[in-house]
């Protein structure tokens, strides 16, 4: 290993910038956030129970594809914070994972 690599690795660890493999919980959180933002955008669904049912149905429908593909992908703490504070699902796509 060259002299610069240990320093880079340490910097990645300290700053959390290099990310970590996404957990199932993190992937579930992303899907839930996008679903809730989409429901808010339509303005059609505002009942908390209906929203919870829709979130659950969306997670179930994406279980074998999107969620499966998400788990283990590199993700940073900054990306997750971006997801949590995003005001729209488009913002998540445009800003959080680029």
Q: How many Cβ atoms are within 10 Å of 63's Cβ, its own excluded?
A: 12
Q: What is the DSSP string of 72-87?
A: TSEE-HHHHHHHHH-S
Sequence spans of domains, the chain:
20-96
Could you give the dihedral angle defined by the CA atoms of residues 33, 38, 42 and 44, in that order, rounded to the nearest 10 degrees?
A: -50
Segment 31-84, tens digit of pLDDT: 999 999 998 888 877 788 888 999 999 999 998 898 889 999 999 999 999 999
* Residues 12-40, mean pLDDT to the nearest whole number: 83
pTM of structure: 0.77
Q: Give CA–CA dist 45/90, Å, rounded.
A: 19
């Amino acid at each position: 290993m060259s002299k610069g690599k240990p320093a880079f690795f340490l910097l990645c660890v300290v700053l959390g910038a290099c990310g970590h493999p996404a957990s199932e919980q993190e992937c579930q959180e992303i899907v839930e956030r996008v679903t809730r933002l989409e429901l808010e955008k339509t303005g059609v669904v505002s009942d908390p129970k209906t929203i919870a049912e829709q979130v659950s149905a969306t997670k179930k429908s994406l279980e074998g594809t999107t969620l499966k593909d998400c788990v283990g992908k590199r993700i940073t703490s900054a990306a997750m914070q971006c997801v949590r504070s995003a005001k729209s699902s488009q913002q998540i796509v445009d800003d959080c994972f680029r």
